[in-house]
């Protein structure tokens, strides 16, 4: 007959039952405290502290599969991204991961690369694998989801979807006010690829704000990005085309930081100095923006924070903590560095 451990005697195998024996309480009480169950509310705080201290001392690790079967939960969500390795997607996913790790959730990530058939198939596969909700990153949700869904950079209003968006109007005000204060009048613009979910909203905001500020947008100084590339090649060839038009400009508002870095290379190859001859404004504030030469003036999107907000919003929906909003707006911030300066006389 196996011996029964006495309270305070360390067990050789660390199970929930062993932790309960160690503190001299029932397994149900220990389970309620460690799982933060509703029934734990009536347990004295001193007892809770003793249980948590014992679990830490014994290095207790809960059995995930037992927890899943007991609660009929998987504690897993799906993340659908356009691209995983790019600076935008990786920063958002990092924020998602940080929040989920603190809450004891797992996540599965897939990248669709704008393949609509793949996007639909991934949504189905994630659902079949038991995810409890989905976060999309820079992805346009095409249809009403069957699971709780939060869309980062989502601009399509769908029932059951919470959109995490940047305040693009405010972003345009910050960027154009900065360039106007530096006396720039001939400003060139890069329009984002139609594949990016932010492109239309950002461009519409720029046009509205420019009109309000009396800044004329010359169609000949607008270049359309028509490719998807997570490297500085995104901006380089298009600024080459812009320069080939031989129309002078003193500032360039790039679609994002990656395209701005490519744009600076194209300008420098033409013998133009940044910012002495042409100022360049980016968007996003990716990690490399501060270390580029010259360091990049940009509109900061708090991408990691957006990922955290997305994860928090999704878990609140899954756990029915409160009514979910259809939209959460995130405030941008202007970061002034070396790539912008006074317009040349």
CATH number at residue 59: 1.10.260
Whether residues 297 and 232 share a domain: the answer is yes
Looking at the 3D structure of the chain, how many domains does it have? Answer: 3
Whether residues 226 and 308 share a domain: the answer is no
Q: How far apart are CA 131 and CA 105, in angstroms?
A: 10
Whether residues 185 and 289 share a domain: the answer is yes
Q: How far apart are CA 267 and CA 225, in angstroms?
A: 17
Whether residues 318 and 244 share a domain: the answer is no
Whether residues 156 and 175 share a domain: the answer is no
Residue 7 has pLDDT above 70, yes or no: no
Residue 325 has pLDDT above 90, yes or no: no
For residues 181-193, give the mean pLDDT. Answer: 97
Whether residues 102 and 213 share a domain: the answer is no
Ramachandran region, residue 127 (left: φ > 0; alpha: ψ -120 to 50; beta: rest)? alpha
Of residues 59 and 7, more confidently modeled: 59
Q: How far apart are CA 249 and CA 21, in angstroms?
A: 76
Whether residues 113 and 184 share a domain: the answer is no
Averaged pLDDT of the chain: 89
Span of 96-100, 141-145, 243-247, 258-262 with lowest mean pLDDT:
141-145
Query: Of 7, 28, 63, which residue constitutes the final position of a domain?
Result: 63
**Segment holding 169, helix H or strand E:** helix 168-181
- β partners of residue 164: 152, 328
Query: Of 63, 79, 95, which residue constitutes the final position of a domain?
Result: 63
| Inter-CA distances, 23 with 26, 61, 62, 88, Å | 9, 16, 17, 48
Whether residues 154 and 86 share a domain: the answer is yes
Q: What is the CATH number of the domain that holds 179?
A: 3.40.50.2300
Q: Judge whether 149 lies within some domain.
A: yes
Q: Judge whether 2 lies within some domain.
A: no
Whether residues 195 and 284 share a domain: the answer is yes
Q: Judge whether 3 lies within some domain.
A: no
Q: Judge whether 341 lies within some domain.
A: no
Q: Where are the alpha helices (DSSP H) in 24-130?
A: 27-34, 45-57, 64-71, 87-103, 116-128
Whether residues 150 and 245 share a domain: the answer is no
Q: Judge whether 8 lies within some domain.
A: no
Q: Judge whether 206 lies within some domain.
A: yes
Range of the domain at 289: 168-301
Task: Work out the pLDDT band at 9, boundaries 50, 70, 90.
Answer: low
Task: Work out the pLDDT band at 66, boundaries 50, 70, 90.
Answer: low
Whether residues 85 and 205 share a domain: the answer is no
pLDDT in tens, 230-265: 888 889 999 999 999 999 999 999 999 999 999 999
Q: Judge whether 274 lies within some domain.
A: yes
Q: Judge whether 345 lies within some domain.
A: no
Q: How many residues does the chain have?
A: 345
Sequence-ordered list of residues with C-beta below 8 angstroms from that of 13, at least 6 positions apart, any chain: none
For residues 65-91, give the mean pLDDT. Answer: 80
Task: Say whether 328 sits in a helix, a strand or coil.
Answer: strand
Q: How far apart are CA 30 and CA 305, in angstroms?
A: 34
Tell the residue number behind the tokens 């298009």, with chain if given.
Answer: 238
Whether residues 173 and 296 share a domain: the answer is yes
Q: What was the pLDDT predicted at 6?
A: 58
Q: How far apart are CA 137 and CA 328, in angstroms?
A: 14
Longest pairwise C-alpha distance within the chain = 94
Query: Of 263, 282, 301, which residue constitutes the final position of a domain?
Result: 301
Predicted model pTM: 0.77
pLDDT in tens, 256-300: 999 999 999 999 999 999 999 999 999 999 988 999 999 999 999
């Amino acid at each position: 007959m196996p011996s029964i451990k006495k309270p305070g005697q360390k067990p050789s195998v660390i199970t929930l039952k062993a932790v309960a024996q160690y503190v001299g309480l029932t397994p149900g009480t220990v389970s309620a405290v460690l799982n933060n169950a509703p029934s734990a509310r009536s347990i004295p705080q001193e007892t809770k502290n003793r249980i948590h201290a014992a679990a830490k001392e014994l290095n207790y690790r809960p059995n995930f599969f037992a927890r899943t079967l007991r609660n009929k939960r998987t504690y897993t969500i799906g993340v659908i991204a356009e691209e995983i390795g790019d600076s935008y997607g990786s920063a958002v996913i990092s924020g998602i991961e940080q929040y989920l790790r603190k809450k004891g959730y797992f996540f599965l990530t897939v990248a669709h690369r704008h393949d609509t058939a793949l996007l639909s198939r991934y949504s189905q596969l994630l659902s079949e694998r038991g995810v409890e909700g989905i976060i999309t990153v820079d992805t346009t949700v095409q249809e009403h989801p069957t699971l709780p869904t939060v869309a980062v950079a989502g601009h399509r209003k769908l029932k059951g979807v919470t959109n995490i968006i940047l305040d693009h109007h405010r972003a345009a005000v910050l960027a154009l006010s900065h360039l106007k204060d530096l006396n720039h009048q001939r400003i060139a613009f890069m329009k984002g690829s139609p594949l990016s979910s932010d492109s239309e909203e950002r461009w519409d905001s720029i046009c509205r704000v420019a009109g309000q500020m009396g800044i004329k947008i010359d169609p000949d100084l607008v270049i359309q990005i028509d490719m998807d590339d997570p490297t500085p090649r995104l901006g380089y060839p298009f600024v080459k085309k812009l320069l080939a038009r031989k129309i002078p400009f003193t500032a360039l508002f790039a679609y994002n930081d990656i395209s701005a870095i490519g744009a600076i290379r194209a300008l420098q190859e033409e013998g133009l100095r940044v910012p002495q001859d042409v100022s360049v404004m980016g968007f996003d504030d990716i990690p490399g923006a501060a270390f580029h030469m010259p360091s990049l003036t940009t509109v900061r999107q708090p991408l990691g924070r957006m990922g955290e907000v997305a994860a928090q919003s999704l878990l609140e929906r899954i756990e029915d903590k409160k009514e979910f909003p259809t939209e959460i707006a995130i405030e941008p911030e202007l970061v002034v560095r070396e790539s912008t300066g006074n317009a040349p006389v």
